[in-house]
Amino acid sequence: MKKQRPTLQTIAEIAGLSKSAVSRALRNDPMQSIKTCERVQKIAADIGYAANPVINALMSDLRTGRQGKRTATIAVIDFWNKKGGWKAWPNLTIFLEGIKEQIDEFNLAYDYFWYWEQDLTPRRLNQIIQTRGIVGMIILPVESPDTTIELDLSRYALATMGYSLKKPNIHRSARNFIGDIFNALEMLRQRGFKKIGLVEPADVEERNNYFWSAGFYTFDLSAADSGHVPILRSSNYHRPELREQAYQEFSCWYREHKPDVVVGSNLHVLKFIERMGLKVPRDVAYFDLDLLEDDGKVDGVYFDWSRVGAATVDMVIDQINRNERGVPRDPKLTLINGQIVTGKTLP
């Protein structure tokens, strides 16, 4: 079995200190006593701990305000079947912008690879990545949960966004879906809505571990006077070729259940309501769970996906600082909350 590389956590456990205290002691921070610094540095030497010189130099530049040559590279790996296929999803485009901005903030370099590039085998891609000074790797949300990754990940700090990547299980940042829908439903109930109808594409729900549905069902069961409108898991209205089918499913569902307020995402369901000839909010109210901008037109949850991109980069940087590489034993999840904003689609 391959021997694990010593990390800050290893030193912390031996010294009986926190990782932050160990980090300060290793760089002779005045906040730590000389005795503690000497003890921690001796433990580090005894177990063969070696800090990453690339990232240390980078952090030194950041602390002193120097903006020199970019000293390390973070790679973004795209596993979609079509190159840039994720661009059809506006939130992923914003997510990637957040990644680029945060990488630039740390004065790192950015490199993008499409896994299915012509004549690019996994072996060749491994070779390219290893020769470009890449220290961290962000795997974009994948198109299919069955995606297989045939890359050597042991050399890199790793992170992804969301829940679509099932294997390997690595550090990830994600939206707090359950927290956001709970806050939204609580607000709607306080506003007097009882028959609340949720509409979400079935495959999107699967990619997000059914968190919208989980939050909706749990909240619905806790409300004694709930109208119990069943969730509509429709065809994917994000895809133009399925939008008409999704509309037909929605119109049948709406006529049968007649909710007081419809909860959807990305404004597609709002367009379905208007297509049916219904006036919002006179005939039915609308609330959007995934607003990409707060322009005062639609009530909903505004979510800045660039914050998730920034958080994903931060997770990679944290691993580099801790000298951790490869698939983690205990993957961490960072959740980002949205913000309820007011518009003109609730009465």
Lookup: tokens for 83: 């190159």
Residue 324: inside a domain:
yes
E-strand stretches of the chain: 73-78, 109-114, 134-139, 157-161, 172-175, 196-201, 232-234, 261-264, 285-291, 300-302, 333-336, 339-341
| pLDDT in the model for residue 3 | 54
pLDDT tens figures, 139-170: 999 988 788 888 899 989 999 999 999 999 99
Over residues 285-311, the mean pLDDT reads 94
Q: Picking from 2-6, 19-23, 263-267, 326-330, which range would have the lowest pLDDT averaged per residue?
A: 2-6
Residues 312 and 164 in one domain: yes
Among 244, 243, 211, smallest CA distance to 231 is for: 211
Residue 68: inside a domain:
no
Residue 55: inside a domain:
no
Residues 311 and 170 in one domain: yes
Residue-wise DSSP of 137-150: EEEPPPS-TT----
Q: Picking from 2-16, 55-69, 159-173, 278-292, which range would have the lowest pLDDT averaged per residue?
A: 55-69
Q: What letter would DSSP give residue 2?
A: P
pLDDT at 300 over 60: yes
Structural domain count, the chain: 3
Most confident of 23-32, 84-93, 199-208, 284-293: 284-293
| pLDDT in the model for residue 86 | 87
Lookup: tokens for 251: 């119109």
| pLDDT in the model for residue 90 | 85
Terminus-to-terminus CA distance in the chain, angstroms? 64
Over residues 240-257, the mean pLDDT reads 95
pLDDT at 227 over 80: no
Residues 209 and 325 in one domain: no
| Full residue range of the structural domain in which residue 287 is found | 177-304
Q: To the nearest 10°, the Cα dihedral for 129, 132, 135, 136?
A: -50
pTM reported for the whole predicted model = 0.77
Residues 137 and 237 in one domain: no
pLDDT at 7 over 70: yes
Residues 269 and 183 in one domain: yes
Residue 184: inside a domain:
yes
C-alpha 53: how far from its chain's center? Answer: 29
Residue 64: inside a domain:
no
| pLDDT in the model for residue 140 | 95
- Is the distance from CB of 249 to CB of 235 less than 8 angstroms? yes
70 confidence band (pLDDT: 50, 70, 90): low
Residue 111: inside a domain:
yes
CATH code for position 274: 3.40.50.2300
The reply to whether omega before 168 is within 30° of 0 (cis) is yes
Residue 240: inside a domain:
yes
Residues 192 and 241 in one domain: yes
pLDDT at 234 over 80: yes
C-alpha 127: how far from its chain's center? Answer: 28
| pLDDT in the model for residue 1 | 44
SS3 24: helix
Q: What letter would DSSP give residue 3?
A: P
Instruction: Provide, rounded to the nearest whole percent, the portion of the chain with pLDDT above 90.
Output: 52
pLDDT at 338 over 70: yes
Q: In the predicted model, what is the mean pLDDT of the chain?
A: 87
Residues 318 and 169 in one domain: yes
Residues 16 and 109 in one domain: no
| pLDDT in the model for residue 299 | 97
Over residues 180-194, the mean pLDDT reads 93
- Is the distance from CB of 140 to CB of 79 less than 8 angstroms? yes
What backbone torsions phi and psi does residue 98 show, to the nearest 5 degrees? -65, -35
339 confidence band (pLDDT: 50, 70, 90): very high
